[in-house]
Amino acid sequence: MTVNEAYLIYFSPTHTSKQIAEAIVQGAGIKNIFPINVTQQAAEEVVIPTSALAIVVVPVYGGHVAPLAMERLRNIRGLDAPTVLVAVYGNRAYEKALMELDAFATPHGMKVIAGATFIGEHSYSTDKHPISAGRPDNFDLAFAADFGKKNNGKGAGCREYG
């Protein structure tokens, strides 16, 4: 059984996390998408139903989930919603960011079914000092789409057997 709606939750000041988030949901083949962009403001109170897939994508700052992103996710809850967690980093290190995101998601009622990290152009990249310039590239986006494809259906399975 596959899900037909997704809550696409992201914080993305320089748009790389947003690109990864969109590629994942597109790969999952889900058309009914509720975007929750917390880049400029905190999310409103929302409860994600069990029948929907939650996709949470945030950047890594200093080896952690960007603190403002974490703060702005606080009103989001799930009713055992199958959830995919993603940390996007500038090819230095993501350290424990994905674990931090998991530590947020699970007590917020999200049933984590998968986690991934992707590389985005580092916010401090310049022409003179490029750091993962141009990422995510087409290969990254295709990989994100494939990751999304693999995860639709998995959530329903988890609910049935988990």
Ligand X SMILES: Cc1cc2nc3c(=O)[nH]c(=O)nc-3n(C[C@H](O)[C@H](O)[C@H](O)COP(=O)(O)O)c2cc1C
CB of 34 to ligand X, least distance (A): 19
Closest residue to ligand X, Cβ-based?
Answer: 120
Question: b/e map of 119-142 (b: 16 or more CB within 10 Å)?
Answer: bbbbeebeeeeeebeebbeeebbe
91 near ligand X (CB under 6 A): yes
Residue type, 90: G
Find out whether 81 and 113 touch, Cβ atoms under 8 Å.
no
Provide the pairing of β-strand 64-65 with 52-61: antiparallel
Which tokens in the block code for residue 117?
């990290």
143 near ligand X (CB under 6 A): no
The C-alpha atoms of residue 17 and residue 88 are separated, in whole angstroms, by: 6
Peptide bond connecting 82 to the previous residue in cis, omega within 30 degrees of 0: no
Looking at 26, 61, 99, 156, which residue binds ligand X (CB under 6 A)?
61
Looking at 93, 103, 133, 142, which residue binds ligand X (CB under 6 A)?
93
The C-alpha atoms of residue 73 and residue 61 are separated, in whole angstroms, by: 16
12 near ligand X (CB under 6 A): yes
22 near ligand X (CB under 6 A): no
Find out whether 101 and 65 touch, Cβ atoms under 8 Å.
yes
Looking at 78, 82, 120, 148, which residue binds ligand X (CB under 6 A)?
120
With contacts defined by CB under 6 A, how many residues of the chain interact with ligand X?
A: 21
CB of 46 to ligand X, least distance (A): 21
92 near ligand X (CB under 6 A): yes
89 near ligand X (CB under 6 A): yes
Among the listed ranges 48-56, 70-78, 117-125, 146-154, the one in contact with ligand X (CB under 6 A) is 117-125
Q: Which spans of this chain sit near ligand X (rule: CB under 6 A)?
A: 12-17, 59-63, 88-93, 120-123
